[in-house]
Amino acid sequence: MNDRSGSSAMGEETDDLEIEEDSQKDKFLTFRIGEEGYGLDIRHITEIIGIQKITPVPDMPDYVVGVINLRGTVIPIMNVRRRFGLPLKDYDPRTCIIVVNLEETSLGLIVDEVSEVLTITEDCLEPPPRVSRGPNSRFIQGLGKVGNEARMILDTKKILYDGEPARAGSAEQE
């Protein structure tokens, strides 16, 4: 039902933010969820589309909100807020779906806002903080330093497939 509220906010605007970047090393697409900045390896990203009508699928983990039609192909959509156990937020014109492709599987990730593509070289990448920052630390591949800020670089594979128990954590946080 939460998706239903989103679909009304979907509106006519479809941000044609298609990025036609070469797959390149050390490049990361950064985006925001709440106040936090995250990064995804650009090699896994196929395109960025605006939010659109999502058809819910039953019997799914709560973070898989449904499927959409992307030019004739049906792809599942994950709400990253739910995946991280964060409270949901209504979709707005800045809400985007980042379409990733990993090992022949396409998946859309709903994020609050897409920021920019940054180059973060290996020497600016730090391992994830030792001290656990909650259940979401397992998704973090490393910390990328950009000026004074840090972006959490996400591990695409873990975002897609890493275990179920996230829900226990999400229940606590909500």
Work out whether 9 is an interface residue with other proteins (CB under 8 A): no
Shortest approach of other proteins to residue 146 CB, angstroms? 31
Whose Cβ is closer to other proteins: residue 11's or residue 34's?
11
Tell me which stretch binds other proteins (CB under 8 A): 14-22, 100-108, 124-132, 138-146.
100-108
The CB density around residue 168, as the number of other CB atoms within 10 Å, is 10
The CB density around residue 15, as the number of other CB atoms within 10 Å, is 15
Work out whether 127 is an interface residue with other proteins (CB under 8 A): no
Residues with Cβ within 8 Å of residue 88, at least 6 apart in sequence: 2, 79, 81, 82
24-to-86, 101, 119, 169 alpha-carbon distances in Å: 31, 15, 9, 35
Work out whether 76 is an interface residue with other proteins (CB under 8 A): yes
C-alpha to C-alpha distance for 161 and 61, rounded to whole angstroms:
11
How many residues bind other proteins, per CB under 8 A? 25
Work out whether 57 is an interface residue with other proteins (CB under 8 A): yes
Which of the residues 140 through 169 are near other proteins (CB under 8 A)? Answer: 160-161
Residues that bind other proteins (CB under 8 A): 1, 4, 7, 53, 55-61, 64, 66-69, 72, 74-76, 105-107, 160-161
